[in-house]
Structure 1
Amino acid sequence: MIVQLSTRKNSQCGQVYCAVFYWVFVMQRGRFCITGAFCDLYVTKNNKIFVALLIAITVQSIGFFAFKSMGWIVVEPAEALSIVAVALGAFLFGIGIILAGGCATGTWYRAGEGLVGSWVALATYMLFSAMMRSEPLGEFNSSLRGQNIDHKTIYDSFGISPWILVAILTAVTGYLVWQHLRKPQAKIASLKPKKTGLAHILFEKRWHPFITAILVGVIALATGREFGLGITGPSANILQYLVMGDGKFINWDVFLVLGILLGAFFAAKMSNEFRVRVLDATIVIRSLIGGVVMGVGASLAGGCSIGNGLVETAFFSWQGWISLPIMILGTWGAAYWTIIRPSKIQAAARASS
């Protein structure tokens, strides 16, 4: 899905600042973790973070179609849907984010927080994302993504107004939010604040995931640009630029992901959360494999948990709403083998001893 803002007049510098603000204070401080949203649905039977994701999608969707109706956005749907590549890639990506300990965005900002496992996952994620766009995996990627069917948006396929889908999404999301807010809220013990005023709110206070989600949706709309937000492409571009030195790989998206890394470092330092944490060899190897699977999966699916799970869903493209549930299934499968099954084995061993 190509989105072009006809009134876009932001300078490159202004876009960088917006990107840094977006990822630093919302994603890092708000702990907006899409991997956790998917995993919690299965492991802890808690859908709170997933509801937060739906809030972000809903806010974007309302704003997107409002801007479209005012002529501020011109939408050009892709001509074809690579359904096999999208389904396979989304499932692999779901597995990869569990192994890596975070989605594409989470891996970038956790690397900025000093988590060495995320550094490893990020390196292999960038490497294989680039390999899927060139040699030696580019031909495999192109051939699988070349198996297309006619692609339309969901509302075009059913011949209905997109506002009907926006209304349904808003109603479902609103009901789920109401269910959560009516529950008694558990009191969470917190340390005595070291900061006051705005500094306390930005760098110490625990953010509610629903407020974070609203900010994610609003700021995503505010970053007017030609394409929806994405992480995989610019991650590959950085590595290709470092190898080939071709300036064509440096664009808005590259500044975005670099903003995640540098901004997360700044936010973590200001909130005393930065630590260089070296994990055991098993976690490092798992992170390495996770980055590989993420890079391959996101390239096949045409997007990661942000590009497909957050942006394409807001546009009601088939690619987005096919990817989202399949990514969730991938995380559940990986969570069973890495979390649930080992826990059961340990519990059985304790019971027999």
Structure 2
Amino acid sequence: MTDFLEQLGDDNLLILTGVIVGLLFGVAAQQSRFCLRAATIEFWHAHLGPKVAIWLLVFSTALVLTQLQFSLGTLSPDSIRQLTGTGSLSGAIVGGLMFGAGMILARGCASRLLVLSATGNMRALTTGLIVTIIAQAAYTGILSPLREWITAWWLISGNVRNLAFYLPNGAPFMVSLLLMAFSILITLRNRLSTKVIGYSVLTGCSIALGWLMTSWHASWSYEIVKIQSVTFTGPSADTLMAVITSPTLPLNFGTGLVPGVFLGSMLASLVTKEFQLEAFTADTGMIRYLIGAPLMGFGGMLAGGCAVGAGVTGGAVLSLTSWTALLFMWLGAGMTDRLIMRTQT
């Protein structure tokens, strides 16, 4: 098996890993209706409803399975960029607020827009493209000086980025089990169907699978392999720019992940006969999408990831900057939803 993988090559294996993880995420997220925006709206309306239950199931599953990998030694915190590299709390705070506001205005976070695009939703496709373009501008383009300036306000590095550093040995896994128990309680209270529960758990499993497969690859490869999992802001920007500027796609995890998610969601919607072309209408409007998309693109790049990349993937490894970004995404979403409600009354 090892000989076959070595012949396949690191680059081909990375893109194949991305496609596999992406397919699982795409199918499961589409069928579970996993969406941070919907969950935050329920939460800020003082209702721990089905959308909150789905989000908690996804997050707690990813957290438990990732922390289990740490406990078993198959994943090392020393090899994870979100725990060892320099991070920005100012970026997490400002970016989280911007991303949270943007996903309310655009009616979906970056991952949800990608999943919906594959089901025929042209609003999501258009909005997602704008998010991706602004993210690239914030990464290497005209908006990058502004992003770097905000990022530099409050930098942290070393063990302080790892929340496990502040907890006793074994506590992170126990906390993850408690959160799982709470999510099960909320799920039972909302009487979610077996189908939705199963696909929500599978969505969380895809996050842990990304960590597992890239960590396993790095353990035997002679090349330096980046250990990572599901995130969308950066990979979407990289994939789009590669399509525009290069005759071939770079072979890495991210450029396998994005088309994998799209294909998985499309297949799921076709099989269940949910695929349907949808466009902007007078009822849906367009202006709020055009405001929300840039906020998400810049905010996601500033925060170090989107609602999934920072919120779930980074949260699952107990990255302080990721948990901070997630908290401020919830706050930004709540304040924006309240502001919209006031303007409509």
User: Could you state the TM-score of these two structures normalised by the residue count of structure 2?
Assistant: 0.82
Does residue 276 (structure 1) correspond to residue 285 (structure 2)? The answer is: no
Deviations 1:42-97 (A, max 9, x none): 23623433233333333223322332333322223234331111100001000111
Instruction: Please give the residue correspondences for 1:28-43 in structure 2 after superposition, counting only pairs within 5 Å.
Output: 28-43=30-45
* Aligned equivalents of 2:182, 2:194: Cα separation in 1: 21
Offset of 1:268 from its aligned partner? 1.6
Offset of 1:159 from its aligned partner? 5.2
**Count of aligned pairs between the two proteins:** 314
The equivalent of 1:160 in structure 2 is: 168
* Aligned equivalents of 1:283, 1:78: Cα separation in 2: 43
* Aligned equivalents of 2:15, 2:326: Cα separation in 1: 33
Aligned match for 2:65, one of 63, 67, 80: 63
Indicate how the Cα distance of structure 1 residues 179 and 108 shifts in structure 2: closer, same or farther if over 3 A, else same. closer
* Aligned equivalents of 1:75, 1:19: Cα separation in 2: 21
The equivalent of 1:196 in structure 2 is: none
Indicate how the Cα distance of structure 1 residues 254 and 33 shifts in structure 2: closer, same or farther if over 3 A, else same. same
Offset of 1:325 from its aligned partner? 1.7
Indicate how the Cα distance of structure 1 residues 258 and 316 shifts in structure 2: closer, same or farther if over 3 A, else same. same
Does the CA contact (< 8 Å) of 1:58 and 1:166 recur in 2?
no
Choose between structure 1 and 2: higher helix proportion.
2
Corresponding letter in the other structure for 2:44 = Y
The equivalent of 2:136 in structure 1 is: 130
Indicate how the Cα distance of structure 1 residues 250 and 289 shifts in structure 2: closer, same or farther if over 3 A, else same. farther
* Aligned equivalents of 2:203, 2:46: Cα separation in 1: 24
Q: Aligned-residue CA RMSD in angstroms? A: 2.6
* Aligned equivalents of 2:183, 2:277: Cα separation in 1: 38
User: Could you state the TM-score of these two structures normalised by the residue count of structure 1?
Assistant: 0.80
Offset of 1:32 from its aligned partner? 1.2
Identical residues among aligned pairs (%): 21
* Aligned equivalents of 1:159, 1:178: Cα separation in 2: 25
Indicate how the Cα distance of structure 1 residues 58 and 278 shifts in structure 2: closer, same or farther if over 3 A, else same. closer
The equivalent of 2:3 in structure 1 is: none
* 5+ long unaligned stretches in structure 2: 1-8, 215-226
The equivalent of 2:201 in structure 1 is: 214
Indicate how the Cα distance of structure 1 residues 75 and 246 shifts in structure 2: closer, same or farther if over 3 A, else same. farther
Q: Secondary structure at the match of 1:313?
A: helix
* Aligned equivalents of 2:108, 2:95: Cα separation in 1: 16
Corresponding letter in the other structure for 1:123 = L
Offset of 1:313 from its aligned partner? 1.3
